[in-house]
Amino acid sequence: MDQPHLDALVAQVTKLSALERIRLVERVMATLEQEFASETHTPRRSLYGLWQDVDISAEEIDEARHEMWDRFPREDI
């Protein structure tokens, strides 16, 4: 829906009473719920075991941590 049609629709809706606007929103929300419920969602791929083939030792983690925090806090910032 392009902008001129949307603007015209909003102009019409603003002419409704507050109760009529609430009813309109309820009907639109019900329609949206049905549309979302009917869509098929692809299941998310499990990330379990993602890093199983990566061999990182505790020493390597400690070394990387030391390298990252070695120059913190910096005085030039």
pLDDT band at 72 (very low <50, low <70, confident <90, very high): confident
Structure tokens at 29: 């929300």
Q: Give residue 1's pLDDT.
A: 58
- Say how far apart CA 49 and CA 74 lie, in whole Å: 37
pTM over 0.85: no
* 3-state SS class at 53: coil
Residues 41-63: b if buried by 16+ CB within 10 A, e if exposed: eeeeeeeeeeeeeeeeeeeeeee
pLDDT tens per residue across span 12-71: 999 999 999 999 999 999 999 988 888 777 888 899 988 888 888 999 999 999 998 988
